[in-house]
Amino acid sequence: MLTQSAVPKVPPRISGTAKVYHVGDDISLNCSSSPSHPPAKLRWFINDEEILPESEKYLPTRADPFLKATWTELEFRAEPRHFRNGQIKIKCQATIMAAQGKMGARYQSMPFRHSNSSFLLVQGDGTYVAPSLLILAVSICCTLLLHI
């Protein structure tokens, strides 16, 4: 059995971003792929570390029910570890697997057929000031008390 494939014409699209994020901000992003067959499998990466999405949704197109667009959401709270040189690198990767062929009672998957990614560099402030100020204030108080 031979199955026809159709790959997306453009890379996946990341949406829902703000211009700047700070430690403690809630970040909510969407990634969507163009219609394809089979539907694209979307994967999120933060600073090259894969993050499992909450869910993927497949939407058939009106023009061709054979093709399906895919979208997924990524939600997380920005932590100091996410910021590298004041930036968070976020990637959404869309991968299309080759069609599966049935062989007896087993299924055989072909290797990757098509993979495409979109990158997003988010500017932000990766420092958390409150503990530093607290430590500084305590240090000054201790120094003053020692000199009395």
Question: Residue 114: which of 32, 14, 40 has the closest Cα?
Answer: 40
Q: In total, how many domains does the chain have?
A: 1
DSSP 130: H
Q: Output the pLDDT for position 134.
A: 46
Q: Output the pLDDT for position 128.
A: 42
Q: Output the pLDDT for position 107.
A: 35
Question: Residue 32: which of 7, 51, 57, 54 has the closest Cα?
Answer: 57
b/e per residue, 16-44, with b = 16+ CB within 10 A? eeeeebebebebebbbbbbbbbbbbbbbb
Q: Output the pLDDT for position 137.
A: 53
Mean pLDDT per 10-residue interval, the chain, length 148 residues: 64 85 90 86 90 70 78 89 89 76 37 54 51 49 55
Strand partners, 113: none
Q: Output the pLDDT for position 144.
A: 57
Q: Output the pLDDT for position 99.
A: 53
Domain assignment present for 86: yes
Domain assignment present for 3: no
Read off the CATH number of the domain in which 77 is found. Answer: 2.60.40.10
Range of the domain at 107: 13-146
Q: Output the pLDDT for position 116.
A: 64
Domain assignment present for 5: no
Q: Output the pLDDT for position 71.
A: 86
Q: What are the φ/ψ torsions at residue 138 (nearest 5 degrees)?
A: -65, -40
Q: Output the pLDDT for position 143.
A: 54
